[in-house]
Amino acid sequence: MACIILSNLLPLVCLFYFSIYSTAAKPDGCGIRANTQTRIVGGEVSYPGKWPWMAALYRSNTNQYCAGALISDRHVLTAAHCVSGVHPSKLHIRLGEFDIPGRLPTSSTQPNKSSSGTLLDENSNGNNLYSVEKIIVHQQYEPRSHLHDIAIVRLGQAVLFSPVIQRICLPPPSLPSLEDRTAIVAGWGTTAFLGTSSPSLREVEVPIWNNQACLQAIGKNVFNTTLCAGGRIKSADACQGDSGGPLMMPMVDDRWAAIGVVSWGIRCGEPTKPGLYTRTSHYTDWILSTVQRTA
């Protein structure tokens, strides 16, 4: 059992990390970035290797349409609305990428083989495209209200970890209030409502809202399983194509945890309308048991 302290949060929290790590996992654990260069965020292009757990989701013959986060050597955490009703054979996932191709090649694409020459550098393992073996959508997912908008994707092959492919940590089942703290969301989604997608991974820092204030701003469908975050003064938000990606927060030892999953919002980047995320800590036990059951 590993014990961690979240930055500026008083309680000591412990996670049974080993239950989601196979023997293929690196001994240094989750949430560690090989590239620790720092940069001020705020809707800017990121840089290669900064968020090595980011996953790009593709359906057959479509552009990248959702994101996710690698949480073990076989599992990606994402939003239910991204994968609900999708057959595993129609879904592919790219890992270890910074600049991504808009559409998967249509000719002789082999899962788990690099097909576009878009690998970051010599650290990438050449197996950046993965097939999907199983999709597990939360059993209580409600599409109309976005309640329980969370899912786990099991890859068809174990991941070979590298400096540009790592897994992110999970938060403990109970967290102190995160209100007014800041987190980071990253993705390849559109840079404005109904705008064009970004071929390069982008990131933005967002403040976390009180749920009551969020409910007043949004008007409905804000639950205790919801986490709200977004710019109150300037535009800062996830947008189309970012769905399923992680809302991330650092820990004192510079390990990162996925505290939320991009779920939905009203337009994008409006200061009075935060983005809505599935609160990962509410589902930590479900995630761990699901990953263990499908290991």
Q: Which residues are catalytic?
A: 81, 149, 243
Question: What b/e string do you get for 164-192 counting C-beta neighbours within 10 Å, with b at 16 or more?
Answer: bbbbbbbbbbebeebeebebbbbbbbbbe
Question: How many CB atoms are closer than 10 A to CB 24?
Answer: 12
Q: How far is CA 269 from CA 34, 54, 106, 208, in A?
A: 30, 21, 34, 14
How far apart (Å, rounded) are the C-alpha atoms in residues 18 and 33? 19
Query: Considering only CA atoms, which of 77, 23, 29 is closest in space to residue 55?
Result: 77
Are 229 and 165 in contact, with CB atoms under 8 Å apart?
no
